[in-house]
Amino acid sequence: MFPSYRFRPEHPDLISNALAIGKKLRNFPKLKDINNIQEEAASLYLHKHMDACIFYSSICIEKILNMDSRLNKYKEKEKINWININLSSFKEAYKRKLPIDELLDESELDMLNKKQDRDKNPIFIIRRNKVLHGDISGYVDKRVLNKDQKEVIPFSKFKTDAGIPVIIDFNEIALDQLKKMQQFLIKYEPEKN
């Protein structure tokens, strides 16, 4: 999966985390797809496919929410067959002891305990929605050359709640999404059937 001759990643923990998660998930055959998805997300990051990395990191979490039987009552209550990741499903999963807090920034943790504000979503969900719906213009609209003038580095423009533009490196966005997904999987305790 991660041949050493092809990569010299600046984040060796990505590979070690992916392999450790894979070892843990091998004990749960029904989670084989989850393992494949999380390994692919890490590989996509290492291949510099940042939008695909964000997508795979997000879909991994969404698939777990749908496979974990602790959320079956939520599906029945909401009369849905598939749980999309949104603040409501995150709150429900958190109540059922899934490590959703690993997907949130420190400043977002109170969202899990407050009444839902439909205009507010954690950045993990915002990123997922932008990529899933093809709205990556904000992620790749500004490009600059690195100091060697050889490689184009994509940047993203985000606006804070006050509407102030913030420029964030697209690599860092994908890395954050990937690391959050990996931390979730590290702390996730699959059901023992």
Distance CA 49, CA 53 (A): 6
Q: What is the mean pLDDT of residues 108-121?
A: 79
Q: How many alpha carbons fall within 13 Å on the CB side of residue 169?
A: 10
> What does the pLDDT look like over 140-149, one tens digit per residue?
434 444 455 4
Q: Is the pLDDT of residue 18 over 60?
A: yes
pLDDT of residue 134: 77
Which letter does DSSP use for residue 54 in this model? Answer: H
Q: What is the mean pLDDT of residues 81-100?
A: 95
Nearest CA to 91 out of 66, 64, 110 is that of 110
> What does the pLDDT look like over 169-189, one tens digit per residue?
678 889 999 999 999 999 999
Q: What is the reported pTM?
A: 0.81
The confidence band for 155, taking pLDDT boundaries of 50, 70 and 90, is very low
